[in-house]
Amino acid sequence: MSSLTLSNLRQNLSQVSMTGLSIPALVLVIVAMLVLPLPAWLLDVLFTFNIASSLLIVLIAINTRKPLEFSSFPSVLLFATMLRLALNVASTRVILVKGHEGEEAAGQVIAAFGHFVIGGNYLVGFIIFMILMIINFIVVTKGAGRVSEVNARFTLDAMPGKQMSIDADLNAGVIDQETAKKRREELSQESDFFGSMDGASKFVSGDAIAGLLILVINLVGGLIIGVIQHDMPVGEAARVYSLLTIGDGLVAQIPGLFLSLATAIIVTRVTTSESMTEQATTQLANPSALFISASFLAILGVVPGMPHIVFLTLALAAPRWVSWCSSARPSLPRMPPPRPPAPPRKRPRSWTGTMWTRST
């Protein structure tokens, strides 16, 4: 009986794909990070992985030609947001428990980001961090959420008309049954995608609010714990916990800003056969607009008191940008000249009776 059970277990394990276990393993890791304390070196690895994965998502969103090519984006956004929040919880635990030990108590990544932003002035560092929060929450996240709502509404409203158009083409013989089936599937996937994006944008906005609350908790809680429990001077406690709090918030907000940017890129994407880079390169290389802009910069460059080198250099660089974009734009194949129309053919005449008539 035991040998039969082991053989069945081996057969079941052999049928399990390792790629199919990646998402469940990620969920278990996130839950473990919410509960278990993590060492500082592991926080450094996870923070670095979080930044790299967010940057990868932004690059994929930029090179996507249509939104359905990245149809897994709502689910990816959910897991990336949960991973970042779990990292915030784990780093908050380390900061509050071991913050009195020094600036690198929560890892070298948080300390390095804190020193980089603060730059010796804690008030300036706090103001810069708040500006990043405002950019992420007010500008990018709010705009992406509104665009997602409008896209979802118009996509659902246009579904009956698009389905009727597919049925009309099928009945007229313009498309076959297989093409009609494929178009219906794409239409269903498009409606599901934009409906999911309408809800996924709320993840990003909620994450921005959670980051602000975690910042306040780290700063106030760290000061209370450092002064009362560890008998630290108020100035030293404010210095250490401000550094750790701003570093932790910045490490969390940079991936959050990347994901907000990726969300905005996906929902504002126009479905074409070109990537966003190709579209921007071909459409921004407008010779008349660049000539007017270069002329305006040249005028500003000769005004007394203006930085002449900067304005004149940019004015001279505009024609170079036009020539580079024109050379990078794919040239269309030259069509052969149209053939001249053939002369009209004369109909033969036939003899009927006493008069000539044209044969029908």
Mean pLDDT of the chain: 76
Comparing 59-68, 116-125, 172-181, 213-222, which segment has the lowest mean pLDDT?
116-125
Partnered with residue 352 across adjacent β-strands are 355
pLDDT tens digits, 72-96? 888 888 888 888 888 888 888 888 8
Spatial CA neighbour of 100 closest among 248, 234, 237: 237
Q: Break the chain down into helix, strand, coil percent, rounded to 5.
A: 80, 0, 20
Task: Please give the DSSP secondary-structure letter assigned to residue 304.
Answer: T
pTM score of the predicted model: 0.73
Band the pLDDT of 12: cuts 50, 70, 90. low
Band the pLDDT of 329: cuts 50, 70, 90. low
Residue with more model confidence, 56 or 272: 56
pLDDT tens digits, 33-49? 888 888 888 888 888 88
How long a stretch of residues is the chain?
Answer: 360
Please tell me the predicted confidence (pLDDT) of residue 357.
45
Which three-class secondary structure state does DSSP give residue 355? strand
d(CA 315, CA 186): 46
pLDDT tens digits, 92-110? 888 888 877 777 777 788 8
Q: How many CA atoms lie within 13 A of 87 on its CB side?
A: 33
d(CA 182, CA 110): 49
Domain spans in the chain, listed from the N-terminal domain onward: 23-273, 286-320
Q: Is the pLDDT of residue 196 over 80?
A: no
